[in-house]
Copies of this chain bind each other. A is one copy, B any other.
Amino acid sequence: MDVFEAVAEPNRRHLLGLLAERDHTAGELVDSLPALTQPAVSRHLRILREVGLVEMRPDGQRRIYALKPDGLQRIDDWITPYRRYWRNHLDALEQHLENR
| Chain A: number of interface residues, binned into ranges | 20 to 34
Classify the secondary structure of A's interface with B.
Answer: helix
A73-B97 contact in complex given A7-B4, A78-B13, A81-B20, C-beta closer than 8 Å: no
Query: Can you list 25 A-B pairs with a CB-CB distance of less than 8 A?
Result: A4-B7, A5-B8, A13-B78, A17-B97, A20-B82, A20-B85, A21-B94, A21-B97, A67-B85, A69-B85, A69-B86, A69-B88, A69-B89, A70-B86, A70-B89, A72-B79, A72-B82, A72-B83, A72-B86, A73-B86, A75-B75, A75-B79, A76-B83, A76-B86, A79-B79
Kindly list 12 other residue pairs between chains A and B, CB separation below 8 angstroms, not including A21-B97, A69-B85. Answer: A4-B7, A4-B8, A4-B13, A7-B8, A17-B97, A67-B82, A67-B85, A69-B89, A70-B86, A72-B85, A73-B86, A76-B86
Chain A contact residues, CB within 8 Å of chain B: 4-5, 7-8, 13, 16-17, 20-21, 67, 69-70, 72-73, 75-76, 78-79, 81-83, 85-86, 88-89, 93-94, 97
